[in-house]
Amino acid sequence: MPVTANTGIVGLFEDRRRQLLLRGRAETLATVSILSILLFASARISEFLSGDYGDAPLARVAEFLQRMNPHLKPALLFAGSGAQGSLAYWFYAFPKWARALFTSVEMAIVATAVGTVLAFLISLLMARTVTRSAAIRQTTRWLPNLVRTMPGFIFAMLLVQAVGSGPMAGTLALTCTCFAGLARPFAEILENADVGPMESVRAAGGGRCAQIRYGLLPLVAPNMLTYVFAWIEINVSASTALGIVGAGGIGQELAGALAYNQFDSYLAIMIMIAMVVVGADLASEQIRHRLFGLRQAR
Amino acid sequence: MTAAADTRDVIARAQRVAAQAMAPHHGGRVARWAAWGAGLAALVAMGGDLGFSSERLLSGILRAGHLITLMWPPTPAGQAAAIFKALGQTIAMAFLGTALVVVLALPLGIVGARTIVQQPVVHFLLRRLFDAARTIPSLVWAMILVAAFGLGPRVGVTAMVLAETPYLAKLFAETMENRRQGVIESLQAAGATRLQVLRYGLMPEVLPLMTGKALLLFESNIRASAALGLVGAGGIGVLLDSRIELLQLDQVAWILMLFIILVLTIDLSSQALRRRLINAKSYNLKGMDADA
Amino acid sequence: MLELHNLRKSFGQKVAIDGVTLRVERGEMVGIIGRSGAGKSTLLRLVNRLTDADEGEIRWQDRDISRINGRALREWRAHSAMIFQRFNLVERLDVITNVLVGCLHRHPLLPSLIKSFPAEDRARAIIELDRVGMADKALQRTETLSGGEMQRVAIARAMMQQPSLLLADEPVSALDPFNANGVMNALVAANKERGITVMVNTHTIDLARCFCQRLIGIRAGRIVFDGPPSQLDRGLEAELFGNAMLRQAA
């Protein structure tokens, strides 16, 4: 196929390309070096590479797994709780643990509910489409961001000092993190929402409240609920850990099991936690199916 | 005809035209109100079960006020060095942990993506496995690992890896599944092999997104590793715990301030990095006139 | 020369192509017209095997290509270049790489995985880009381009494949009239200057009339018209497009 070559253009292109290639390679080299240095430094500081693994580290791992092993005997699987090797023996404190898990789930639900409401309210103040005053927006923005930077357990510990140990402190702590975590996504959803419907309500004579209620909410509700559902799962997982600082729930049972060196009980509780969180996952997926139709639910 | 008769007329006509739309919806509305009411009642009941009561809340608020006064003025009480060291350890743990999680989650994510492994049964099982594995928070792992292997940041890093790899693997898998069918088809139409289609059609989209998610993971890991110190897995958690126990809240406030500054700095830089990853850079061959 | 014998394709209940028999000679420029959903897209995709027919046969130069696979299929696909309504370029990659995709089928695996193309291919890619007037944007990220520009890059990519057949699936439907003209002219250039057989889908009759010597009208998966534009009268147009508007602004 006859093609009239314009070597001028090709030459120019190759020059520029070489330039960019070199620059790109230099950048890559710099990035890789920095990352390597950081990696090495962090490995040193966290004593990952210190080499002192004690004697026979693999044996210790094996021993650890052995201690978690409940030594189930197939013949005795369904025997009573007195019989070593049965499921009942392994899950000997099942009622107590179930109750504690239930508490943890309750904590998560209440925290998510209250946190959602609070986050929604503050997001209204943070969003450009709802609040016209830039001053209000800027001042309200820093609160959730501040709360977000702190790990949840700090709140839990401080609240335990304030209201005493128990699930109340944990719920309040979860509420704080949930509120902070939802505020920003809510605000973004509100800002990215199409203002069209709101304006048409305004054109029909609706006041601010009506505009929000009829023009904005139906639009943003599905997106917001997606985040809420994600946070329910996060909260259920987090609430199980909070018990460790005395903030109620299954965490306290976990700490107790370790205090008595009952590794197999620990494993039993971990399995129960896994089942509950997976259950919460599935339940929320079902609810999302119903509410939004198959297309939106993941 | 009277106005009332007119109205009746209109309603009657509307009912003939769209009987269903005109039917009273009382049933639906009552059901909705009932549902909201029941939900609220359930919430209150749960709150009570959890120990909420107005007296406790009130006394809690008062006590919280007292605690806040204890926080002022924030002071390191001469232990600034130890605090900085602990913070450094926290960041190091977070960085190393994130790096390890990324390295492990990458192959898992690839395998877990429907675009790569198309076998429905295998895909389903793998993803369920990810879901089950990510239910255990890192703190729970850390507790038992400390009990088994002793204290130290190494244990903390291991706990983070165990807890977060399935989570990131799932995120990676999902990113790889959200590919644009059209682009894939056009690559196929040009005669590319399967691997080439992935390399040119999937990777350019997916790599910046996954890097962004890894950066977000790093941000959240800093908080996570701070918490891990609580159970002895290294970092700032231990310091915070002891100070809070002893109600030395002015030191706590100082540590928290430092921590917040640190996290904000890292958050901002990570945001800038993420923006740079997504943005288009145009390398224009300036000065090239079409002289042909 | 392309021959389609009795092609049939259904998607579930819906019959997309219902017994199509067609013969296209080398060097023709054929416009395929019909409503949205009439089966135009499916027809083209059957030719380059993005979709496989339920029944029927496709032959190119007397070779049966309806059932080839693997390497032979990839060669056929490279040979029968396709451009799309939504351009379908890899937006995060730069323009030149998108064009170089056209020669992927000729390259061994490893170098192509690290985006390493021989200088000769790069030069050819630049020349193709220059022919569509896009050479100065070669190193830009494709997502910075406008629709018309992207489609021209797509054409450059198609030319890179050194095809004998060019399948254009509604190439200008997403473009404004000015850009549409530019793209159609590029297709005509490919047809006249390089002797490439071109099959263009469009739901705009006037466009097809203007640029193609042969029109094929499709309705509900069947060919209802096959001839030069002069033979297409109002009645047939109505039959093709049903109650909808007969003419759309070109």
pLDDT band at C241 (very low <50, low <70, confident <90, very high): low
- The residue that leads in pLDDT, A298 or C187, is C187
- The residue that leads in pLDDT, A221 or C198, is C198
pLDDT band at A3 (very low <50, low <70, confident <90, very high): very low
Look at residue C247 and tell me whether its pLDDT is greater than 60: no
Interface of A with B in 195-224 (CB under 8 A): none
Mean pLDDT of C167-184: 91
Cα Rg of chain B, angstroms: 29
- The residue that leads in pLDDT, C21 or B73, is C21
Residue of B227, B231, B288 with shortest CB distance to A151? B227
Q: Across chain C, how many H-helices and E-strands are there?
A: 9, 10
**A158 reaches B (C-beta below 8 A):** yes
Look at residue B290 and tell me whether its pLDDT is greater than 50: no
Look at residue C85 and tell me whether its pLDDT is greater than 70: yes
Mean pLDDT of A127-149: 84
Which DSSP letter does residue A8 get? H
**Interstrand relation of C197-202 and C63-64 (parallel, antiparallel or unpaired):** unpaired
Residue with tokens 């959890």: B50
CA-nearest residue to C120 within chain A is: A10
Cβ neighbours of A9 in C, within 8 Å: 126-127, 130, 135
Q: Tens digits of per-residue pLDDT, B157-183?
A: 999 999 999 999 988 888 888 777 889
Interface of C with A in 162-191 (CB under 8 A): 162
Q: What is the pLDDT of residue B26?
A: 66
Look at residue B84 and tell me whether its pLDDT is greater than 80: yes
Q: Which residues contact residue B124 at a Cβ distance below 8 angstroms, ignoring those fewer than 6 apart? A: none
Interface test with C, best of A6, A13, A22 (most C CBs within 10 A): A13
Residue with tokens 């693994």: A53
Interface of B with A in 117-136 (CB under 8 A): 128, 131-133, 135-136
Q: Tens digits of per-residue pLDDT, C92-144?
A: 899 999 999 998 888 877 777 888 888 889 999 999 999 998 988 888 889 89
Q: Measured between alpha carbons, how far is B251 from B258 in angstroms, rounded to an integer?
A: 11
Q: What is the pLDDT of residue C183?
A: 92
Q: What is the pLDDT of residue A286?
A: 81
Nearest chain B CA: its distance from C74 CA (Å): 4
Is the Cβ pair B200, C86 closer than 8 Å? no
- The residue that leads in pLDDT, A150 or A57, is A150
Cβ neighbours of B286 in C, within 8 Å: 136
Nearest chain C CA: its distance from B284 CA (Å): 6
Mean pLDDT of A58-74: 79
What is the model's pTM?
A: 0.80
Residues of A with CB under 8 A from a CB of C: 1, 3, 5-6, 9-10, 13-14, 16-17, 20
Mean pLDDT of C74-84: 92
CA-nearest residue to A16 within chain C is: C139
pLDDT band at A257 (very low <50, low <70, confident <90, very high): confident
Report whether C217 contacts C226 (CB < 8 A): yes
Domains of chain B by start residue, with CATH: 83-291 (1.10.3720.10)
pLDDT band at A5 (very low <50, low <70, confident <90, very high): low
b/e burial code for range B94-113 (CB count within 10 A of at least 16 → b):
bbbbbbbbbebbbebbbebb
CA-nearest residue to C92 within chain B is: B204
Interface test with A, best of B50, B56, B90 (most A CBs within 10 A): B50
Look at residue A102 and tell me whether its pLDDT is greater than 60: yes
Q: Measured between alpha carbons, how far is C40 from B252 in angstroms, rounded to an integer?
A: 71
pLDDT band at C246 (very low <50, low <70, confident <90, very high): very low
pLDDT band at A297 (very low <50, low <70, confident <90, very high): very low
Regarding an ipTM greater than 0.85, the answer is: yes
Q: What is the pLDDT of residue B164?
A: 93
Cα–Cα distances in Å, from A12 out to A5, C55, C69, C124, C139? 13, 51, 41, 14, 12
Cβ neighbours of C157 in B, within 8 Å: 190
- The residue that leads in pLDDT, A278 or A75, is A278
Mean pLDDT of B215-242: 87
Q: Which of A77-81, A125-129, B148-152, B280-284 has the lowest mean pLDDT?
A: B280-284
Cβ neighbours of A164 in B, within 8 Å: 56
**Interstrand relation of C80-83 and C165-168 (parallel, antiparallel or unpaired):** parallel
For chain C, what is the mean pLDDT?
88
Cα–Cα distances in Å, from A215 out to B252, C115, C161? 46, 50, 52
pLDDT band at B24 (very low <50, low <70, confident <90, very high): low
Instruction: Select from B228, B248, B215 the least CA-distant residue to B159.
Output: B228
Instruction: Select from C157, C201, C221, C207 the least CA-distant residue to C11.
Output: C221
Look at residue B117 and tell me whether its pLDDT is greater than 70: no
Is the Cβ pair C141, B281 closer than 8 Å? yes
Mean pLDDT of C159-187: 92
Look at residue C250 and tell me whether its pLDDT is greater than 70: no
Q: What is the pLDDT of residue B27?
A: 67
Q: What percentage of chain B reaches a pLDDT higher than 70?
A: 91
**C135 reaches A (C-beta below 8 A):** yes
Pairs of residues, one from chain B and one from chain C, whose beta carbons lie less than 8 Å apart: 99
Mean pLDDT of B244-254: 86
pLDDT band at C77 (very low <50, low <70, confident <90, very high): very high
CA-nearest residue to A3 within chain C is: C127
Look at residue C156 and tell me whether its pLDDT is greater than 80: yes
Q: Tens digits of per-residue pLDDT, A163-191?
A: 888 888 899 999 999 999 999 899 888 88
For chain B, what is the mean pLDDT?
83
Torsion, Cα of C161, C165, C166, C170 (10° steps): -150
Axis-axis angle for helices B138-149, A250-259 (nearest 10)? 10
Nearest chain C CA: its distance from A47 CA (Å): 36
Is the Cβ pair B192, C74 closer than 8 Å? yes
Mean pLDDT of C214-227: 88
Q: What percentage of chain C reaches a pLDDT higher than 70?
A: 95
Look at residue C244 and tell me whether its pLDDT is greater than 60: no
Residue B2 carries which side chain, given as an amino acid letter? T
Residue with tokens 């029909």: A204
**B181 reaches C (C-beta below 8 A):** no
Q: What is the pLDDT of residue C127?
A: 92
Interface of A with B in 238-257 (CB under 8 A): 238, 240-241, 244-245, 248, 251, 254-255
Q: What is the pLDDT of residue A202?
A: 85
pLDDT band at A6 (very low <50, low <70, confident <90, very high): low
Look at residue B258 and tell me whether its pLDDT is greater than 80: yes
pLDDT band at A54 (very low <50, low <70, confident <90, very high): low
Q: Measured between alpha carbons, how far is B132 from B169 in angstroms, rounded to an integer?
A: 13
Pairs of residues, one from chain A and one from chain C, whose beta carbons lie less than 8 Å apart: 30
For chain A, what is the mean pLDDT?
83
Look at residue C235 and tell me whether its pLDDT is greater than 60: yes
CA-nearest residue to C127 within chain B is: B292
Q: Measured between alpha carbons, how far is A285 from A288 in angstroms, rounded to an integer?
A: 5
Q: Which residues contact residue A80 at a Cβ distance below 8 angstroms, ignoring those fewer than 6 apart? A: A86, A88
Q: What is the pLDDT of residue A294?
A: 46
Q: Tens digits of per-residue pLDDT, A186-213?
A: 988 888 888 888 888 888 888 878 887 8
Q: What percentage of chain C reaches a pLDDT higher than 90?
A: 45
Q: Measured between alpha carbons, how far is B64 from A169 in angstroms, rounded to an integer?
A: 12
Report whether C109 contacts C117 (CB < 8 A): no
b/e burial code for range C202-224 (CB count within 10 A of at least 16 → b):
bbbbebbbebbebbbbbbbbebe
Is the Cβ pair C93, B204 closer than 8 Å? yes
b/e burial code for range A192-201 (CB count within 10 A of at least 16 → b):
ebeeebbeeb
3-state secondary structure of C5: strand
Peptide bond into A70 cis (omega under 30): no
Q: What is the pLDDT of residue C97?
A: 92
Report whether B44 contacts B222 (CB < 8 A): no
Q: What percentage of chain A reaches a pLDDT higher than 70?
A: 92
Q: What is the pLDDT of residue B239?
A: 85
Nearest chain B CA: its distance from C230 CA (Å): 33
Q: Measured between alpha carbons, how far is A253 from A259 in angstroms, rounded to an integer?
A: 10
Q: What is the pLDDT of residue B188?
A: 92
CA-nearest residue to C137 within chain B is: B284
